[in-house]
Amino acid sequence: MKTVIKNISELIQTETNPKKWIAGKEMSKISTIKEAFLEYEDGIITAFGSMGQWKGIEDWNNTDIIDAEGGMVFPTYCDSHTHLVFAASREEEFVDRINGLSYEEIAKRGGGILNSAEKLQKSTEEELYESALNRLNNLIKLGTGAIEIKSGYGLTLESELKMLRVIRRLEKNTEVSIKSTFLGAHALPKEYKNNKDGYMDLVINEMLPKVASEGLADYVDIFCEKGYFTIEDTKRLLDSAQKYGIQGKTHVNQFNSMGGVQASIELGALSVDHLEEMKDYDFEALKNSDCMPTILPSCSFFLGIPYGPANKMIEKGLPVALASDYNPGSTPSGNMNFISSLGCIQMKMTPEQVINATTINTAYAMGLEKELGSICVGKKANIFITQDIPSYSYLPYSFGENVINKVILNGKVIV
Ligand code: NIG
Ligand code: FE
């Protein structure tokens, strides 16, 4: 059945020639249509244009009409970096940080990722599924229509598989487009405290083959950082994953620039994520690559660490993606509206740059740019309708508010 959304005050991020990503100066522009309509059928966008161009209804019996009532229509957000599956919150560490401890100091005391792993190992798949589904349903209300979710709080073969199976179940049972990433190399479990090579052997020789044979991961990730995993570990993992046809999406340059960007790009990573600490050679490595630099502003906000240099990347002609990093330790929120506000307010990106960075560029960073990330004929009808807002800049401006009235995924009204 055809559906037409009419009376859209402005249709945002329209595209006639689909692009793989938006980079450099182009990031400051978006295409929109004022007083518009949008048509879709079987979950796929079939037409859009100005209300004047709308031919009207040919077949009343076979057309649903949704009245946007003067609201705007945006493509849903693509959130290309999250750790949505976890067992428990970690607000005690939040308080420790208020009292002066750093993220690294908390991790050294056995808090951090190991704290989450201990709790996750004791949780059942069912418990993890229910809590993650609940979080995901909340994110849909906030406009997220595609999400990448990582493992990495299991840190044993059994618990990593448990997490990945939860992600696949979410993918099967919801309308959200989901990509799954195997992050076995997230932190060194206690039992391997003095045997990092032993743990990397476990990840590469036991976990990865099982994950690949069960088809549980679309991507592989590693926390390449002082005190976690090295450049050598990163290269070894990405190289092994390539043999299974699994591309990398890595955690690099969160606290230190130590060559993780270069190593990831050399081994064909789709994205490098965090990038709070960037040196000239990191920018150089990104030039002429197919790798999406992805910044996670709410992690910077929550931990009080620097924001990634989005404007410098854009000046150098690079694309930039903004994702949430939703996780219990460094970013207990997956609200992409707030990410948009942080992009504008803290990172001095324009609303247009932020829209490109949270839709088409994050779609690329999860291999979905042909299906999502813009309003384009042939792409999925994953959109949200806002309240009657005065301009699209109002969305990042009205931080902390939710101006979204309706969310439609695969052409189905979800919210
Ligand atoms: O992306 N930095 C590594 N991993 C997560 C945080 C994990 C945690 O603290 O639980 C991140 O920020
Ligand atoms: Fe992360």
Q: How many other CB atoms sit within 10 Å of the CB of residue 49?
A: 16
Name the CA dihedral angle for 360, 364, 369, 372, rounded to a multiple of 10 degrees. -60
If one residue of 118, 186, 249, 294 were mutated to test the ligand 1 pocket, choosing by the most ligand atoms within 8 A of its CB, it would be 186
pLDDT of residue 2: 94
Closest CA to 358 of 296, 283, 287: 296
pLDDT of residue 108: 86
The CATH number assigned to the domain holding 161 equals 3.20.20.140
> What letter represents residue 219's amino acid?
Y
221's tokens: 């990730």
Give the number of the atom of ligand 1 that is nearest the alpha carbon of residue 327: 10
Ligand 1 contacts CB of residue 361 (under 6 A): no
> What letter represents residue 125's amino acid?
E
> d(Cα 269, Cα 94) in Å, to the nearest integer?
32
Q: Do 148 and 116 reside in the same domain of the chain?
A: yes
Q: Do 324 and 193 reside in the same domain of the chain?
A: yes
Q: Do 84 and 174 reside in the same domain of the chain?
A: yes
The CATH number assigned to the domain holding 42 equals 2.30.40.10
List of residues 6+ apart from 329 with CB closer than 8 A: 90, 93, 103, 112, 113, 115, 116
Q: Is the pLDDT of residue 60 over 80?
A: no
pLDDT of residue 61: 80
Give percent of the chain above pLDDT 90.
95
Asked whether 188 and 215 are in contact (CB, 8 A), the reply is: no
Q: Is residue 257 part of a domain?
A: yes
pLDDT of residue 378: 98
Q: Do 359 and 378 reside in the same domain of the chain?
A: no
Q: Do 57 and 81 reside in the same domain of the chain?
A: no
Q: Do 338 and 323 reside in the same domain of the chain?
A: yes
Q: Whose CA is nearest to atom 3 of ligand 1?
A: 223
Give me the number of domains the chain comprises. 2
pLDDT of residue 59: 76
Asked whether 79 and 299 are in contact (CB, 8 A), the reply is: no
231's tokens: 């450049």
Query: Range of 16's domain?
Result: 2-75+374-413
Q: Whose CA is nearest to atom 9 of ligand 1?
A: 329
Q: Is residue 369 part of a domain?
A: no
pLDDT band, very low/low/confident/very high, at 139 (cuts 50, 70, 90)? very high
Q: Do 353 and 381 reside in the same domain of the chain?
A: no
Give the number of the atom of ligand 1 that is nearest the alpha carbon of residue 274: 1
Ligand 1 contacts CB of residue 329 (under 6 A): yes
Q: Do 156 and 297 reside in the same domain of the chain?
A: yes
Helix axes 125-141, 157-173, angle to 10 degrees: 40
Q: Do 159 and 306 reside in the same domain of the chain?
A: yes
Q: Do 357 and 404 reside in the same domain of the chain?
A: no
For all residues of the chain together, what is the average pLDDT?
A: 97
Mean pLDDT is lowest, of 33-42, 98-107, 311-320, 345-354, for 98-107
Q: Do 389 and 341 reside in the same domain of the chain?
A: no
> d(Cα 114, Cα 120) in Å, to the nearest integer?
10
**pTM (2 d.p.):** 0.98
**C-alpha 314, offset from chain centre:** 19
**pLDDT tens column, 80-124:** 999 999 999 999 999 999 999 999 899 988 899 999 999 999 999
Ion ligand 2, residue ranges at CB < 5 A = 325
Q: Pick left, alpha or beta for residue 197 (phi over 0 → left; psi -120 to 50 → alpha; otherwise beta).
A: alpha
> What letter represents residue 209's amino acid?
P
**C-alpha 79, offset from chain centre:** 2
Distance 328 CA to ligand 1 centre (A): 8
Q: Is the pLDDT of residue 188 over 80?
A: yes
Please report the DSSP string for 357-383 in residue order.
HHTHHHHHTTT-TTTSSSB-TTSB--E
Strand ranges of the sheet holding 219-224, from the earlier edge strand across to the other edge = 77-79, 144-150, 177-185, 219-224, 247-252, 271-274, 292-295, 321-322
**How much is the average pLDDT of 353-360?**
99
**pLDDT tens column, 264-295:** 999 999 999 999 999 999 999 999 999 999 99
The angle formed by the CA atoms of residues 77, 392 and 323, to the nearest 5 degrees, is 25
Distance 401 CA to ligand 2 centre (A): 25
Q: Is the pLDDT of residue 58 over 90?
A: no
In terms of DSSP H, where are the helices of 3-148? 91-98, 103-108, 112-122, 125-141
Q: Is the pLDDT of residue 15 over 90?
A: yes
Q: Do 128 and 104 reside in the same domain of the chain?
A: yes
